[in-house]
Amino acid sequence: MNLQTVKQRFGIIGNSATLHHALQTAVQVAPTDLTVLITGSSGVGKESFSKIIHSLSARKHSKFIAINCGAIPEGTINSELFGHTKGAFTGATGERKGYFETVNGGTIFLDEIGEMPLDTQTYLLRVLEQGEFVKVGSSAMEKTDVRIVAATNVNLLQKVKQGKFREDLYYRLSTVPIKVPALRERPEDIPILFRKFAGDFAERYKTTSVRLSSDAQQLLVRYTWPGNIRELKNITEQVSVLSQDKLVSAEELLKFIPDMAQNNLPMLAGGNSTGDSSNGGFYEREILFKFLYDMKKDLNDMKALIAELARTNDLRMPTNVTVPSEGSNLPTIFTPSTYEQPSFEQEYAPTPSINQNNHTSSPIIINSNSSTDSNDGDKYSDVEEIEESLSIEDMEQQLIRKALDKHRGRRKEAAKELGISERTLYRKIKQYKIGI
């Protein structure tokens, strides 16, 4: 059976290479009895792949059951899977058959296998290796012939390292692994899925199908879709119901997914989002832009801090430095030539400050001539000035220390006093190794 036929039969939408690879693997493994482990984020359609495997296998006329291991309480999951005898535990008023007995000859889909308790994993391993199980409260060994298809949205190998999943069971389950791609990994399929969901909604409720403008479509493609296909379907139905215009603009689409504005960062000039998305280039650029944006905010916070500290402590600063606004461009770095030449009175005005070693760094005036000279022109002829430190880092450290001392180490209040975010303050404390 070719992939196009499989997609039409099971309602699979999309043309991405990663999706086709997963489907091809499912079709090839279906006629066998090998155990399959399906991995992928929540909402990508892992259960659909389990149904494809069952429907194309020799067990297609037998039972198929899907079990969510994370939804069954730990105290009853053994009874649900393997059954129990009368009196096996409180409330067991009669004998009960488990799924491995009732689905004998068919397929069991164990979703969220990573949530299965360790003792249940031991029983499941015996079923996979020997085809045997024991009911709760019984000592009799019973036989079963089921095919197991498991699925998970977590990293099972990581759980193995944490001691929360049996290593032997992991390798027994993943005889044939199938990775279902997340929606963000197949961006070319997003507009197709939107049209399909919008068309289904319009047909069901006898309305006109909504369409997306080119800007709205680009916004949709560049969103990360943490909820995958399930989230896309929900958003499509919301837009279909609540949109005032059947041609939806990007501005209107943002009303339904406000997070899109944060996830969709500007593209590089001349960039092609469609062409680069297939190999992950778009997402690398998105991460880069996010990093640059965060760095710009940190620089703006720091520049605002320095300007405020200079104002409150009467320090000398460049004459052309302004405090940047939130949406301004990256601040330029000023050079020593931009400093205003201080007047004679300012040059010798005492401005005490404390550096990181708690020593005074104000200008020190030494007059070697103790006698008073009546000649004003020679009044300061024997005066020697020791310049104070003009290092911005020193001033920054001084004021951070002062703020922390003032608020007795309470960083939240110190950050508020300094006019910067707590994140910026934490980073600076770590950078300057300031102890509290």
End-to-end CA distance of the chain: 69
Nearest to 44 by CA among 204, 186, 141, 248: 186
- Tell me the CB-side half-sphere exposure of residue 197, using CA atoms within 13 A: 21
pLDDT (tens digit per residue) in 185-217: 999 999 999 999 999 999 999 999 999 999 999
Task: Report yes or no on 251 lying in a domain.
Answer: yes
Token output for 360 = 């005074």
Q: Same domain, yes or no, for 198 and 173? A: no
pLDDT (tens digit per residue) in 116-126: 999 999 999 99
Task: Report yes or no on 287 lying in a domain.
Answer: no
pTM of the predicted protein model = 0.59
Q: Same domain, yes or no, for 192 and 314? A: no
Mean pLDDT of the chain: 79
Q: What is the CATH number of the domain that holds 205?
A: 1.10.8.60
Q: Same domain, yes or no, for 173 and 193? A: no
Which residue range forms the structural domain that includes residue 31? 3-181
Q: Same domain, yes or no, for 98 and 226? A: no
Instruction: Give the CA distances from residue 421 to residues 19, 313, 329, in Å, rounded to whole numbers and listed in that order.
Output: 43, 20, 19
Task: Report yes or no on 289 lying in a domain.
Answer: no
Q: Same domain, yes or no, for 126 and 206? A: no
Percentage with pLDDT > 70 across the chain: 74
Per-residue pLDDT, 316: 63
Task: Indicate the residue among 181, 216, 246 that finishes a domain.
Answer: 181
Task: Report yes or no on 238 lying in a domain.
Answer: yes
Per-residue pLDDT, 293: 67
Answer yes or no: is pLDDT of 46 > 60: yes
**114-123, 283-292, 335-344, 346-355 — most confident range:** 114-123
Q: Same domain, yes or no, for 192 and 308? A: no
Higher confidence at residue 115 or residue 415?
A: 115
Instruction: State the pairing for strand pair 107-111/64-68.
Output: parallel
Higher confidence at residue 290 or residue 242?
A: 242
Task: Indicate the residue among 132, 152, 181 that finishes a domain.
Answer: 181
Q: Same domain, yes or no, for 426 and 399? A: yes
Task: Indicate the residue among 147, 181, 215 that finishes a domain.
Answer: 181
Phi, psi of 5 (to 5 degrees): -65, -40
Q: Same domain, yes or no, for 8 and 54? A: yes
Average pLDDT over residues 84-101: 88
Task: Report yes or no on 65 lying in a domain.
Answer: yes
Per-residue pLDDT, 101: 94
Q: Same domain, yes or no, for 173 and 218? A: no
Please list, in sequence order, all residues whose beta carbon lies within 8 angstroms of the beta carbon of residue 388, skipping any fewer than 6 positions away: 351, 353, 361, 362, 363
Q: Same domain, yes or no, for 7 and 139? A: yes
* Overall number of domains in the chain: 3
Q: What is the CATH number of the domain that holds 136?
A: 3.40.50.300
Q: Same domain, yes or no, for 171 and 189? A: no
**Is residue 306 a contact partner of residue 317, using CB atoms and an 8 Å limit?**
yes
Task: Report yes or no on 276 lying in a domain.
Answer: no
pLDDT (tens digit per residue) in 53-92: 999 999 999 999 999 999 999 889 999 999 999 888 888 8
Q: Same domain, yes or no, for 312 and 399? A: yes
Per-residue pLDDT, 372: 43
Task: Report yes or no on 357 lying in a domain.
Answer: yes
Average pLDDT over residues 364-390: 46
Task: Report yes or no on 135 lying in a domain.
Answer: yes
